[in-house]
Amino acid sequence: MLTLLQRKELLELPELNGILAASVYDPTPERLAKRVRAYRQNASIAVFACREADIWKGVAVVQRTGSLGTLLDIAVSEKDRKQGIGRFLISGIIKSLALTDFYAETDEEAVGFYRSLGFTVTSLGDKYNSGSQRYLCQKGEEG
């Protein structure tokens, strides 16, 4: 049975830090440490992680402004992907924080995931001039 926890200190756990690395571009130890420090220092950031028994399965970081949440990072351990962990995290975040609007930015690979959760998807084009399309995914009163 999956358990959802909400605590910034979870990012200090090596197992979760390793899972988080999958959502970071060029995840060097320095980049990860800098990101974790920034998240820990920002009062509007919430960190969620889920585990089954004593095994960490996924982690998500959200910035909250009132009832609006913006997903900053989400990652599921490689061996646990396609098993509903991401869905569990997203639905748990929305419920726990009582969000009425929720946003995420993603690439082509994850658009289907967000659509399956009822998000409205809008192309942002090649936002970073990287040759890859980016998408804004929105769920809530406006989307």
- pLDDT one digit per residue (tens) for the chain, 143 residues: 999 999 999 988 999 988 999 888 888 999 999 999 999 999 999 999 999 999 999 999 999 999 999 999 999 999 999 999 999 999 999 999 999 999 999 988 899 999 999 999 999 988 887 888 899 999 986 54
54 and 31, same structural domain? Answer: yes
Residue 95 and residue 64 in one domain: yes
- As a whole number of angstroms, the distance between CA 132 and CA 136 comes to 14
134-140/2-6 β-pairing: unpaired
Domain assignment of residue 95, given as a range: 2-99
Regarding whether 142 and 108 lie in a shared domain, the answer is yes
Q: What are phi and psi of 92, to 5 degrees?
A: -65, -40
- State the Cα–Cα distance between residues 82 and 42, nearest whole angstrom: 31
Partnered with residue 121 across adjacent β-strands are: 137
- CATH number of the domain at 23, please: 3.40.630.30
Residues 69 and 135 in one domain: no
Smallest CA-to-CA distance from 56 within 21, 91, 95, 94 is with 21
Same domain, 18 and 43: yes
CA–CA dist 30, 22 (Å, integer): 15
If asked whether residues 115 and 71 sit together in one domain, one would say no
Start-to-end C-alpha separation, the chain: 31
CA 110 – CA 64 distance, rounded (Å): 22
